Amino acid sequence: MSSSQLADLRVELARRGVDGLLVPRADEHLGEYVPPSAERLAWLTGFTGSAGLAVVLANEAALFVDGRYVLQAANQTDPAHWQRRHITEEPPATWLAATAPGARIGYDPWLISEETLGRFTEAGVTMVPLEPNPIDAVWRDRPVPPLHPAEPHALGFAGRSSADKRADLAAALRGSKDDAAVISDPAGIAWLLNIRGSDVPYTPFALGFALIAADASVTLFMAAQKLPQATRAWLGNGVAIAERSALPDALAGLAGKRVRVDPATAPVWFAQRLRAAGATVNSGVDPCLLPKACKNPVEQDGTRAAHRRDAQALCRFLHWLDAAPGRETERSAAAQLLAFRAELAEFRGESFPAISAAGEHGAIMHYRVDAGSDRPIRADELFLIDSGAQFPDGTTDVTRTIWTGRGRPPEELRDRFTRVLKGHIAIATLVFPQGVGGAHLDGFARQSLWQAGLDFDHGTGHGVGSYLSVHEGPVSLSRLARPVALAPGMILSDEPGFYAPGRYGIRLENLLLVQPARLPEATRPFLRFETLTLAPFDRTLIEPALLTLEETAWLDAYHARVLAEVGPALAPEPRAWLARACAPLPR
């Protein structure tokens, strides 16, 4: 990445009268996947990960990323211009307060939440809102924002009408004495109004904003050309449509009202505008967040069907890979998996760019292969494939780690793989009381690794949407998880791992559905997980002696289920391969 972007930005910051700028990896909806027009962090730094934040000062600049992206940031940024910092070990606010005391730091109020902004002001940093964004003044070939059409999401997939959802949310607003709520998350709008779109890669969003009132009426702020007549008719009379340019006047019209704005997910612009207009801002959770996460019975059946369907493509791929050692590359493998999925009539696209990582690349947790990094998948090494698909009835996400050799893998690899598998099984088999949050469960996935002095630097699991984002809040399995209780209908990933930098990476991921647990003697409600993903684990990497009898029984039962549910849909050769891959472990 050329240093000219940084130099041009510094000139613009001096012209705007600030000493520095925050550059988050975000668009105006603060989501993970953003349109090309919002890839400001990548344009400035060269870093293309899905999460990160840069701080630009007059004489130095730093890029902050979490553990998933430490190696990627080192590979993609120029150390002559960018310091690389771990965002949790050295928070940006702490670094900035120590590095530039008394400095005036600019920020785009559309690209930062009130909660995040508060961390900087609490650290004593003087923050200055800047509109328009200074980067846009120097990004001369910036792509135009997307204008793809919003489309109806059929009731046969959604399970509940938009009118029913709006009525429930309105009742909740009245219960909290709120007159209205801001919906800035496009996933919330998609769920609430039963619409989908294609404005961002990998996630079926139609970008816009909404206000829902306590009488269940909704105003959708979305460009008119994105709403064809069929979609307008689908939305119905309860949804008014306005251009985004009407937002400031709409917020001004809420003077004297109490308006809920999520301080964690909404741009701080909304709270600032509402307070300036004389409204009372209630810093409360986005009212769509929790009901969207708790899938209804139709959505649950849909995700089961989506995973059975996706398993056909994945098992065909694993059979193909087993027959092609040493003849393929990371890119060709990812392309072949995509081709198998594309043969499924219901396939709508990948749910994220496939992580196709051989050998040392597997240690880069969110590695993304390109023409420059692509390398052969050699014999006698580990190959990690993390991928997912979007279907109208569900979103999938699955990771398998494969040994590419014909002989017995080294003892170290078998030990690490089996410890990761033990953690995976520990989560999959948990029974826990209702009211427990993800932070309480994360350690179960790490116990076997911890006993050997090992760990992994990412959360154990994340929420997953229903034909929405593959990373969905508000729940996760992580030490840093928000204090949100798991509830029936939530879908989470179970993906412990282990990474040896420069050598290999291991990750094993299934998706799980939270269900009530039927315990005859329980004195309070308990929950359990239903495994959704159907694909074999590589038996050659398992050290049976490290598994308990209960763990072995779970694995054998899981593999028997995979064979029974997926095998009949496969051609004879991959079906025969699957039968071997799903054979019981030797005792």
Q: Which amino acid is at 34?
A: V
Q: How far apart are CA 43 and CA 403, in angstroms?
A: 37
Q: How far apart are CA 183 and CA 265, in angstroms?
A: 9
- Residue ranges and CATH numbers for the domains of the chain are 4-138 (3.40.350.10), 151-285 (3.40.350.10), 294-575 (3.90.230.10)
- Please state, in angstroms and as integers, the Cα–Cα distance from residue 80 to each residue in 47, 69, 84, 99, following that order: 15, 19, 11, 18
Q: Using CA atoms in the order 5, 8, 13, 15, what is the torsion angle rounded to 10 degrees?
A: -170
What is the reported pLDDT for 71?
86
What is the reported pLDDT for 325?
67
Contact yes or no for 536/578 (Cβ under 8 A): yes
Which residue ranges in the chain fall short of pLDDT 70? 1-2, 325
CA atoms 438, 202, 193, 280: torsion sign: positive
Q: Specify which residues 430 forms β-bridges with.
A: none
Residue 341's contacts (CB-CB under 8 Å, 6 or more residues apart) are 310, 313, 347, 350, 389
What is the reported pLDDT for 60?
95
What is the reported pLDDT for 2?
58
Q: Could you tell me which of 25, 58, 30 has the C-alpha nearest to residue 42?
A: 25
- Please state, in angstroms and as integers, the Cα–Cα distance from residue 23 to each residue in 61, 118, 194, 200, 337, following that order: 11, 16, 33, 20, 35
